[in-house]
Chains A and B, each alone.
Chain A
Amino acid sequence: MKRQPVLHPGLNLGSADEYSHAQSEPVIFGFWVFLMADLVLFAILFATYASMSVQGQAGGPSPTDVFDLPSAFIETMLLLSSSITFGMASLALKYKADRLHLVFWLVLTFCLGAGFIAMEVRDFWIMTQQGAVPQRSGFLSAFYMLVATHGIHVTAGLCWMIVMLVQLWLLGRTTEVKLRLMRLALFWHMLDIVWVCIFTFVYLFGVAL
């Protein structure tokens, strides 16, 4: 067997499923272009936050007052491990003929992602109880806007995961289902990259400044 060329970002099906691999290039490239555009959206929110967090406190709470680093650390670990478990799901999609491995890793990824969202909602709840609500200052508006946009993306990813589990159950491992799962993998890994920027430039910079 000869090695198939690498056609797109993410784990290529390659010689494991040559037919699906041949179909994969346009749809996954198109999704990749969307992801790059999504990064531009996040970049603008980051730029707004960067100036607001310093200049827009309006006498209200500063980042040091409201950020909970241990909680941010747990969220980071949850999202990072969910990225790794999705990697295992991608491997199961490519190499394991049965559905069981794939479903196991997808469900595990879903649980870690749901745990992340639960922690984030808890953080927001505690912050609002302390009076750190979005309308308090420009810093808090920009903070909620940026972090909640990421949170909504993760929630959308979780919904997508449920849809894919249903499709796996109803349709099985068809080419369409495989290609959808591969796009979900790109989406999920990209959200982890955005979170790396959030925990560094929002939480850690906020406390270190």
Chain B
Amino acid sequence: MTDEHVETYAQDFRSYCIGGLLALVLTGLAFGLVIFEILPHFERLLALAVLAIAQIIVHFRYFLHIGWHSHRDDLQLVLFTSLILFLMVGGTIWILFNLHERMM
């Protein structure tokens, strides 16, 4: 760390610009997929989910500056929260849709 140059305005400015540009492109693609009805049904939903996850990663990386170099365990906290979210959301959806099918 100590041998690196001090961060500059240009570097930090570039981070927000890259992030903003990527987010705009990913948002445009997501809306484009639905408005112009590109791809078959299932593939379209899958592509939307992938675009959303990509955009979330872009926001974390370029706007919140989460990376491997952080001093604290910020990244681990995000990943652990993601695990909890995955279990709770996935579990809820699984159980409720299963129950729904059995009640039909």
Contact B77 A32 (CB under 8 A): yes
The segment from A106-114, A122-130, A148-156, A190-198 that touches chain B is A190-198
Q: Are B30 and A204 in contact (CB under 8 A)?
A: yes
Alpha-carbon distance A208/B47, docked complex (angstroms): 11
Verify B65–A11 contact, CB threshold 8 A.
yes
What CA separation (Å) do A11 and B27 show in the bound complex? Answer: 24
* Residues in chain A near residue B19, CB distance under 8 A: 84, 87
Q: How far is the CA of A55 from the CA of B103 in the complex (A)?
A: 11
B34 engages A207 (CB within 8 Å): yes
Q: Are A193 and B89 in contact (CB under 8 A)?
A: no
**Contact residues on A (Cβ < 8 Å of other chain), bracket:** 35 or more
Chain A, range 40-79, C-beta contacts under 8 Å to B: 40, 43-44, 46-48, 50-51, 54-55, 69, 73, 76-77
Q: Which residue of A lies closest to B13 (CB)?
A: A91
Interface SS of chain B: helix
Task: Please report whether the interface of chain A is mostly helix, strand, loop or mixed according to DSSP.
Answer: helix
User: Within the complex, what minimum Cβ distance (angstroms) separates B14 from chain A?
Assistant: 11
Residues of the A chain whose Cβ atoms lie less than 8 Å from the Cβ of B84 = 40, 43
Q: Are A6 and B69 in contact (CB under 8 A)?
A: yes
- CB B47 to nearest CB in A, in angstroms, measures 10
Residue from A11, A51, A94, A197 in contact with B93 in the complex, judged by beta carbons closer than 8 Å: A51
List residues of chain A with CB within 8 A of the CB of B49: 200-201
The answer to the question of A88 belonging to the interface, with a C-beta cut-off of 8 Å to chain B, is yes
On whether the beta carbons of A50 and B81 are closer than 8 Å, the reply is no
Q: Are B88 and A47 touching (Cβ within 8 A)?
A: yes
**B13, B35, B70: which contacts A69 (Cβ < 8 A)?**
B35
Are A5 and B89 in contact, with the CB atoms below 8 A? no
Can you list 22 A-B contacts (CB < 8 A)?
A2-B2, A3-B2, A6-B67, A8-B70, A9-B74, A15-B6, A32-B77, A36-B78, A40-B88, A43-B88, A46-B89, A47-B92, A50-B89, A51-B97, A55-B100, A76-B31, A80-B20, A88-B16, A94-B9, A192-B59, A204-B34, A207-B34
